[in-house]
Each structure stands twice: as C-alpha cells, then as structure tokens.
C-alpha cells in the first residue's frame, strides 16, 4: 500500500465515521411519541401497577430529555422508545383496571335490576 493509497483510505474512513456520528439528529419524533403516550395514559387516571408503569415512563422520558440536551441523541432516542412502550403499557393496564371495574359494577347493577324485576313481577 502506497502513501497515497493510505491517505485515500484515511479520508474514506473519516468521512464514514463523520457521517455516522454527525448525521444523528435530536430524537424529536421519539420524544414526541413518548410525550403523547404518557398524556394518553394520564387521561385514564391509572392506579396500582398502571401508575407504577406510568411513573417509569415519565422517568424514562425525563432521562431521554436530559440525554437529548447533552446531545446524546442515540441514547435519548432509546430512552424515549422505552418511555413510549412503558406509557402504552400503563395505558393498557389502566384500561384493563377500568374495564374490570366497569364489568363488576354493571354485573352488580344487572343483578339488582333482575332482583327488582323478579320482586315486582311476584308482587
């Protein structure tokens, strides 16, 4: 390998590395998606495990935002993705809890209605 060839290889590698490193932009989309997922989960007023999941999502989002401010965009994007899935998990858990509560209430209500109907019919 001649000197000129070595120079060419060096330049090529420099371009490759610089493209890889400097081409990463702030993870705006990931952060926005995480923020949206958290807001949607918060609307369901999660409790119990859902609240824990939501808190974890908030923590991940905060960490992602901090990393993004430090220009560690790749790590920030990863944390934002974690926050998104945690928020979606919290939302699903909250929906499950609410649905379970709703089913219990409606089952009890229907049983009461059936009992009243039976009583009134016998009367």
Partner 1 sequence: MNSLYASFRLGFLLCLLCASAASTAASKPNPDADRLNASLAALDADPALGELAAVERLKARQSVNAFITAKSKARELALFLANRRVETAQIAAQAELLANQAEQLDRERDQIMLQASQRDAEMARREADQLRLQNMARQEEAERMSLAMEEERIAREQSDSNAQLSSAQATQARKLADARAREVELAQKEAELASILASDNVSDGDALPPMQRRGSGSVYTLAGNSFASGSATLTASGISSLNKLAALLRAGQGNIRIEGFTDSQGPDAANLALSQKRANAVMIALRAGGVPAVRMKAGGKGEAQPVADNGSAAGRARNRRVEIIVN
Residues near partner 1, by CB under 8 A: 1-2, 4-5, 8-9, 12, 78, 81-82, 85-86, 88-89, 92-93, 95-96, 98-100, 102-103, 106-107, 109-110, 113-114, 116-117, 120-121
Burial of 64 by CB count in 10 Å (0-12 exposed, 13-18 middle, 19+ buried)?
Answer: buried
Instruction: Pick the closer one to partner 1 by CB: 70 or 106.
Output: 106
Which residue's CB is nearer to partner 1, number 70 or number 109?
A: 109
Choose between 5 and 71: whose C-beta lies nearer to partner 1.
5
């Amino acid at each position: 390998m001649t000197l000129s060839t070595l120079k060419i290889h060096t330049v090529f590698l420099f371009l490759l590395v610089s493209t890889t490193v400097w081409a990463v932009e702030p993870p705006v989309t990931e952060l926005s998606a995480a923020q949206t997922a958290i807001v949607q989960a918060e609307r369901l007023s999660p409790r119990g495990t859902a609240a824990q999941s939501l808190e974890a999502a908030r923590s991940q989002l905060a960490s992602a935002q901090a990393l993004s401010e430090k220009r560690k965009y790749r790590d920030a994007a990863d944390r934002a993705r974690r926050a998104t899935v945690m928020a979606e998990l919290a939302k699903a858990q909250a929906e499950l809890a609410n649905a379970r509560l709703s089913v219990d209430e409606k089952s009890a209500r229907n049983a009461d209605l059936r009992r009243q109907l039976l009583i009134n019919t016998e009367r």
